[in-house]
């Protein structure tokens, strides 16, 4: 049975209203309609189906990372910092590679602030 895939089914064909932050031939970056976490949150996905980071090919990874870099540059300018996060294996609920860029209250804290 095919796994549900919100990105291929609705986001990339733009069947739902998402706030597009950056779009290239191969990559889409957008703010989701319901913010996932943080006070600002952008999701970056390849437009063609790639299951996870483990299946990502070098040609596409360069494009994907370039968009992540552009998005994060904006986040650092606007918020002072951000996190980039992706999930794999049992931790990955939507089986289409997606990278979260998030900033502000509600993001995971890997180290405590003083
Ligand atoms: Zn997909």
pLDDT computed for residue 107 by the predictor: 86
Alpha helices (H) along the chain = 6, 58-79
Please give the distance, rounded to the nearest whole angstrom, from the Cα atom of residue 85 to the centre of ligand 1: 18
Residues with CB under 5 A from ligand 1 (ion): 5, 7-8, 49, 96
Tell me: pLDDT of 31 over 90: yes
pLDDT at 110 over 80: no
Token pair for 56: 């990502």
- How much is the pLDDT for 35? 77
The mean per-residue pLDDT over the stretch 31-55 comes to 93
Q: How many Cβ atoms from other residues are within 10 Å of residue 85's Cβ?
A: 14
Write the DSSP symbol of residue 106: T
- Give, rounded to a whole angstrom, the gap between the first and last alpha carbons of the chain: 49
Centroid of ligand 1 to alpha carbon of 50 (angstroms): 6
Query: Strands 19-23, 27-31: parallel, antiparallel or unpaired by DSSP?
Result: antiparallel
> In whole numbers, what is the pLDDT of the chain averaged over residues?
92
pLDDT, tens only, 44-94: 999 999 999 999 999 999 999 999 999 999 999 999 999 999 999 999 989
Q: Does pLDDT of 2 surpass 70?
A: no
User: Does residue 13 carry a pLDDT above 90?
Assistant: yes
Question: Distance between CA atoms of 103 and 81, rounded to whole angstroms?
Answer: 7
pTM: 0.92
Which one is predicted more confidently, 65 or 112?
65
104 close to 47: Cβ distance less than 8 angstroms: no
| Residue 99: per-residue pLDDT | 97
71, 21 Cβ separation under 8 angstroms: yes
């Amino acid at each position: 049975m095919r796994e549900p895939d919100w990105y291929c089914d609705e986001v990339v064909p733009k069947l739902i209203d998402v706030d597009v932050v950056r779009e290239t031939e191969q990559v889409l970056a957008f703010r989701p309609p319901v913010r996932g976490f943080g006070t600002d949150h952008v999701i970056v996905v390849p437009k063609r189906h790639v299951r996870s980071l483990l299946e990502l090919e070098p040609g596409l990874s360069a494009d994907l990372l370039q968009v992540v870099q552009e998005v994060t540059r904006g986040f650092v300018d606007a918020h002072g910092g951000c996190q980039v996060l992706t999930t794999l294996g049992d931790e990955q609920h939507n089986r289409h590679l997606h990278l979260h860029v998030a900033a502000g209250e509600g993001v995971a804290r890997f180290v405590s602030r003083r």
